[in-house]
Structure 1
Amino acid sequence: MTQPETIDDNRTETDVLVIGGGTGGYSTALRAAALGLKVVLAERDKVGGTCLHRGCIPSKAMLHAAELVDGIAEARERWGVKATLDSVDWPALVATRDDIVGRNHRGVVGHLTHAGVDVVYGDAELTGPRSARVTGYGEVVARRGIVLATGSRPRVLPGLTPDGHRVVTSDDALFAPALPKSVLVLGGGAIGVEYASFHRSMGADVILVEAADRIVPLEDAEVSRHLTRGLRKRGIDVLAGARLLDAAVLDEEVVATVRTARGETRTVRAERLLVAVGRAPVTDGLGLAAAGLTTDDRGHVAPADWSRLETSVPGIHVVGDLLPPPSLGLAHASFAEGMLVAEVLAGLPSRAVDYTAVPRVTYSSPQTAAVGLTEADARNAGHDVTVGTMPLTAVAKGMVHGQGGMVKVVAERDGRVLGVHLVGPHVSEMIAESQLIVGWEAEPADVAAHLHAHPTLSEAVGEVFLTLAGRGLHQQS
């Protein structure tokens, strides 16, 4: 594959210009290069983006450490293993996390280099529908198209300016110099729940405040109920249907006033206030107007054609967190979007990403994992549904783990599976099967024909499908 052509000192021509090197951007670049296209990837910081450097990877590394801490307590309290936790060596923990991030970063850089992608570092600003100016590099003209993949940043609340110490966001919560003894988490979506779970494992007193009437409000109501029960069992004070009225940031603590779902007013004191109320697309300085583009009222750049992820300006495509719903703002969805756009730019047939078949995971303790429609969404869409559920403690391996949890399957009556919803230990590793079930439009009888290993947590999934297929073994049909 040949490299982009330098026309003069300040102008380069290429087939594809990708702006943003996060999961959506670098997957676009890698796939496009593999298809023989010349690619320039412009990144203002580090390739890998938020997911690799501030989100998915470092947070899951820390959550694994938290799982080890929880295991010591379980060993002592449940299994008679007289283990104790002397302390958490925060610098050592951070060093391991940073090593994992660093190795992943070097891996991504190596993949891009091997693929022949020309990675340039600087701010990119569109100058037209096929061109952009990159600081420190010059103008880039893209013959086939431009891909916008500039990602997102944490949303903040008016009057609460993050300082990285007392008031933090998910981008900097894990990078503080020490662990707090108490945390008030605002936001009960996946990010807020994960951070609440981590800090509780590390010994902090945690209050989790969610304005909606339940945490993880986009998931099935049964998932929310079981997750709430699991978090409260661990000592996390979960306040759903609650709102922050005000907060004062003092030298040693944050003092907040919260109105609960019952209308009561509570004063909450915590060493740290963690704001996890969602993420906002990053488009500042991108020069959208110069290319004839606008954003919606939440800052997203909407495609005119979802099967090509192409905007109203032909040749400009968008992937990742810049996309509005039904895109999910998840790294693995961004991979699929990037590969789709690369194939479109290479002239291959395109088919829209099936977002209903994209798995959703919350890596707390307990974990949640789901794919497809919730029961409420399925009924609202007009489906005649049948539902099967089973607690994980109804199978032997669930009793071994002792963390509760459940399996819930939503299916059309006498038809295909619409959604699968899991809560419990390690369910993030169990959802892949259900992704195929939903994505391939399998029926319960199709799944019931296949065996699940015994004893495993996943056999609870098999048991629910057996029951829905009228062949219940340990459940009544």
Structure 2
Amino acid sequence: MPHIMEVDVAIIGAGTAGLNALRQIKAAGQSFVLIERGELGTMCARTGCIPSKAVLHASEIMRSWAEAEGAGPVGRVTENANRLWRAARATRDESARGMAKETLELAGERLIRGDARVVGPTDIQVDGRLIRARAIVIATGSAAVVPDKWKALGNGILTTDSLFDLDTLPATMGLVGLGAIGLEMGLALSRLGVRVTGADQSNVVGGISDPTIADVARQHFEHDMTMWLGESVDIERNSAGRFELVSGGPSPGRTEVECVLVALGRHSSLPELELHNAGIEVDQHGNVPFDPQTMRIGDSNFYLAGDVSSARPLQHEAADEGSIAGWNAVAHESNVGFRRRVPLSIAFTDPDFAAVGCAFDKLAAGTLVAEGSADTNARSSIAGQNDNVVRLYVEPGSGRLLGAALFAGAGEHLAHLLAWAVQRGDTVAELLRVPFYHPTVEEIIQTALHDAASKLNFPRRLDLASSGHQ
């Protein structure tokens, strides 16, 4: 019988969620192990947030150079583009090394490398070693979805897990999946000179639920890259051994490319853990029921954190979930339900698009929708950002801001302002009393608020709080 290592908490997965759980457990002075089978450094640092934003930054530099020279779209990969690509990869490498070092410092000798498998309600086996824990945090993340028939096509079928390992940029690339991540990468590569053909069965890019924002985004980005929307797509190898992206819709298309980036989303790694050995059944989509306020799976000893669940697969949410799971793993018999932050998602596509609070397709009937656009915004006109638009979702009776969607240059900043307002429970009247400087893109929010005020039938008034004097 193998030796049993007993600890208070076992954490499976050393990504953002796992490390945040670990910080809570260490702060409480409890014993732990941190189990990781892959490379250290977190997905965010190695293949997610950091490298993708570094490449987007590189593409903006490239586009600025072209605009300064009076040129149109770059159209081909130059040595400057490859130099910027290598600089972005160096940023990725530095970030990953830093996170790997931090992981080693946090976990010390309690880091165990290997594959974890659940063998009982409190027991985990890691390559023959048996670990028994009072509570277990699962933060194993997710893996990119690639159909088996495309995997069989061999090297050149890429995901965001492998894209950043390319030493140089290809001249041409196919892109399957135009959700937020696929769109970000397609635009970045296109602006670096790669001829990108992107395809998606949906007519909507970026997974945007607000129809006005979706239409504006699609029309804008059609100028940056070739997009096949609303049609099925396949990948083949031709007689010369090169890849071909094939559209099977009513307007069939076929184009030869050097490689294909598959961005069809990610699937949970939960099924690999064999949770049925602890009496927990994983459904066909790789999900289990859990409480998002405590992160606990039923009344079991297990807690989820990060994109191992598909509820909120974003880095800042993973950090929160890791902290919640770690806190409750420490206080296992007296869990605390935490109020989650308002939902916030941003695609850094320049112009950015973002969703805040309640999504458009989840709004209650009768919700008021107000709008501000570049038409009356001086700063947008100055910057040539004529597609800028902000949409606000307002509760009719109270005037409370429920959510928002936007498409705008510097949209990441507008999205944060709106998220803070939604989380505070601000009303249209309250937000109209805050200062707006001229000329700024923030004034689009002010315009949308005035539109909301008119639809709420506000009486004639100044956007100032009364001092009490007549």
The verdict on a shared fold, with TM-score over 0.5 as the criterion, is: yes
- SS of the residue aligned with 2:222? helix
- Whether the 8 Å CA contact 2:209–2:361 is kept in 1: the answer is no
Alpha-carbon distance in structure 2 between the residues aligned to 1:116 and 1:175: 29
Q: Which moved more, 1:286-295 or 1:188-197?
A: 286-295
Alpha-carbon distance in structure 2 between the residues aligned to 1:106 and 1:47: 10
- Whether the 8 Å CA contact 1:181–1:205 is kept in 2: the answer is yes
Alpha-carbon distance in structure 1 between the residues aligned to 2:327 and 2:12: 17
Number of the residue aligned with 1:82: none
- Indicate yes or no: 2:317 matched with 1:343: no
TM-score (norm 2): 0.87
Number of the residue aligned with 1:102: 94
Corresponding residue to 2:105 among 109, 113, 124: 113
- Indicate yes or no: 2:140 matched with 1:150: yes
Corresponding residue to 2:360 among 375, 389, 392: 375
- SS of the residue aligned with 2:80? coil
Corresponding residue to 1:406 among 389, 400, 404: 389
Q: What do residues 454-475 of structure 1 show as CA deviations (whole Å, max 9, x unaligned)?
A: 33222212331233234899xx
Alpha-carbon distance in structure 2 between the residues aligned to 1:172 and 1:21: 19
Go from structure 1 to structure 2 and tell me whether the alpha carbon gap of 1:117 and 1:74 turns closer, same or farther (over 3 Å shift): farther
| Deviation for aligned residue 1:62 | 0.9
- Indicate yes or no: 2:371 matched with 1:389: yes
Alpha-carbon distance in structure 1 between the residues aligned to 2:335 and 2:228: 48
Go from structure 1 to structure 2 and tell me whether the alpha carbon gap of 1:55 and 1:86 turns closer, same or farther (over 3 Å shift): closer
- SS of the residue aligned with 2:66? helix
- Whether the 8 Å CA contact 2:41–2:99 is kept in 1: the answer is no
Q: How does 1:288-367 map to 2 (within 5 A)?
A: 288-303=275-290, 305-312=291-298, 314-324=300-310, 327-347=311-331, 350-352=336-338, 354=340, 357-367=342-352
| Deviation for aligned residue 1:277 | 0.9
Which amino acid letter does the alignment assign opposite residue 408 of structure 1? R
| Deviation for aligned residue 1:164 | 7.1
Alpha-carbon distance in structure 1 between the residues aligned to 2:97 and 2:82: 22
- Whether the 8 Å CA contact 1:258–1:267 is kept in 2: the answer is yes
Q: Which moved more, 1:101-110 or 1:127-136?
A: 101-110
Corresponding residue to 2:123 among 120, 131, 139: 131
- Indicate yes or no: 2:413 matched with 1:429: yes
Alpha-carbon distance in structure 2 between the residues aligned to 1:11 and 1:211: 50
- Whether the 8 Å CA contact 1:183–1:270 is kept in 2: the answer is yes
Which amino acid letter does the alignment assign opposite residue 241 of structure 1? G
Off by >6 Å, runs of 4+ in structure 1: none
Alpha-carbon distance in structure 1 between the residues aligned to 2:289 and 2:314: 17
- Whether the 8 Å CA contact 2:121–2:278 is kept in 1: the answer is yes
- Whether the 8 Å CA contact 1:165–1:176 is kept in 2: the answer is no
Q: What do residues 35-89 of structure 1 show as CA deviations (whole Å, max 9, x unaligned)?
A: 333232111123343222112211111111111111112223399xxxxx96326
| Deviation for aligned residue 1:120 | 2.3
Number of the residue aligned with 1:4: none
Go from structure 1 to structure 2 and tell me whether the alpha carbon gap of 1:89 and 1:201 turns closer, same or farther (over 3 Å shift): closer
**Equivalent pairs: percent with the same residue?**
24
Number of the residue aligned with 1:75: 68
Corresponding residue to 1:269 among 256, 266, 271: 256
Alpha-carbon distance in structure 1 between the residues aligned to 2:271 and 2:39: 18
- SS of the residue aligned with 1:67? helix
- SS of the residue aligned with 1:159? helix
Number of the residue aligned with 2:47: 54
- Whether the 8 Å CA contact 1:207–1:239 is kept in 2: the answer is yes
Go from structure 1 to structure 2 and tell me whether the alpha carbon gap of 1:115 and 1:279 turns closer, same or farther (over 3 Å shift): closer
- Whether the 8 Å CA contact 1:182–1:271 is kept in 2: the answer is yes
TM-score (norm 1): 0.86
Go from structure 1 to structure 2 and tell me whether the alpha carbon gap of 1:141 and 1:174 turns closer, same or farther (over 3 Å shift): same
Corresponding residue to 2:231 among 223, 242, 250: 242
- Whether the 8 Å CA contact 2:32–2:110 is kept in 1: the answer is yes
- SS of the residue aligned with 1:317? strand
Q: What do residues 73-126 of structure 1 show as CA deviations (whole Å, max 9, x unaligned)?
A: 2223399xxxxx963263663255334443454246436625878322221222
Number of the residue aligned with 2:446: 462
| Deviation for aligned residue 1:206 | 1.9
- Whether the 8 Å CA contact 2:295–2:303 is kept in 1: the answer is yes
Q: What do residues 168-213 of structure 1 show as CA deviations (whole Å, max 9, x unaligned)?
A: 1121122223212222211111111011101111112222211123
Unaligned runs of 5+ in 1: 1-7, 80-84
Unaligned runs of 5+ in 2: 462-470
- SS of the residue aligned with 1:407? strand
Go from structure 1 to structure 2 and tell me whether the alpha carbon gap of 1:306 and 1:96 turns closer, same or farther (over 3 Å shift): closer
Alpha-carbon distance in structure 1 between the residues aligned to 2:15 and 2:251: 43
- SS of the residue aligned with 1:371? strand
- Whether the 8 Å CA contact 2:89–2:164 is kept in 1: the answer is no
Go from structure 1 to structure 2 and tell me whether the alpha carbon gap of 1:299 and 1:202 turns closer, same or farther (over 3 Å shift): same
- Whether the 8 Å CA contact 1:383–1:412 is kept in 2: the answer is no
- Whether the 8 Å CA contact 2:8–2:31 is kept in 1: the answer is yes
- SS of the residue aligned with 1:33? helix
Alpha-carbon distance in structure 2 between the residues aligned to 1:202 and 1:70: 8
